[in-house]
Amino acid sequence: MTAPDALARACAEAMWRDDRASRALGMEILAIAPGHARLAMTIRAEMVNGHGTCHGGFIFLLADSAFAFACNSENEKALAQHCAITFLRPARLGERLEAEAEKRGEAGRSGIYDITVRRADGTIIAEFRGQSRRLGERFFPEETADAAP
């Protein structure tokens, strides 16, 4: 594992400790790297709406959590500044969804990330784009970032 990968993992672990929302929904972190995150979640009964499909808010939340872990993976704390999602297909009870986030670019304190949400068979069900805003704060002091736990 490279130093940037280890730092990304340490940042994710620091965030995960206090991320009650993602943990309560049963999300799992599958992969973390600088500017990248992949999370998964299984659709539970309380996530299904009156149409028998997963409520879009839960799909958005999965994508938003992947976005959060990706944009906080380089030892700079960031928040969502703007997000948009396009739902392409429904998700159903019992399906496992994966959201994969990738950094597309940055300028100043802003970053752009694309997140794809897929079913386990690879079918894309939603596309999410997020714009992040760095806060000027770090998870670990710069001089110790290379040695982050």
* Domain extents in the chain: 3-147
Region for residue 121 given its phi and psi (left: phi exceeds 0; alpha: psi -120 to 50; beta: otherwise): alpha
User: What are 116-144's pLDDT values in tens digits?
Assistant: 999 999 999 999 999 999 999 999 987 55
How many other β-carbons are positioned within 10 Å of the β-carbon of residue 108?
A: 7
User: What are 54-86's pLDDT values in tens digits?
Assistant: 999 999 999 999 999 999 999 999 999 999 999
Distance of CA 32 to the CA centre of its chain: 9
Specify the pairing of strand 78-87 against strand 96-107.
Answer: unpaired
Question: What architecture (CATH level 2) is domain 3-147?
Answer: Roll (3.10)
Residues 6+ apart with CB under 8 A from 120: 95, 96, 97, 98
Give the C-alpha distances (Å, rounded to integers) separating 138 from 25, 39, 110.
Answer: 27, 23, 15
- What is the overall mean pLDDT for the chain? 94
Element containing residue 73 per DSSP (H, E): none
Region for residue 35 given its phi and psi (left: phi exceeds 0; alpha: psi -120 to 50; beta: otherwise): left
Residue 111: pLDDT over 90: yes
User: What are 30-60's pLDDT values in tens digits?
Assistant: 999 999 999 999 999 999 999 999 999 999 9
Give the C-alpha distances (Å, rounded to integers) separating 100 from 68, 138, 140, 143.
Answer: 11, 23, 25, 30
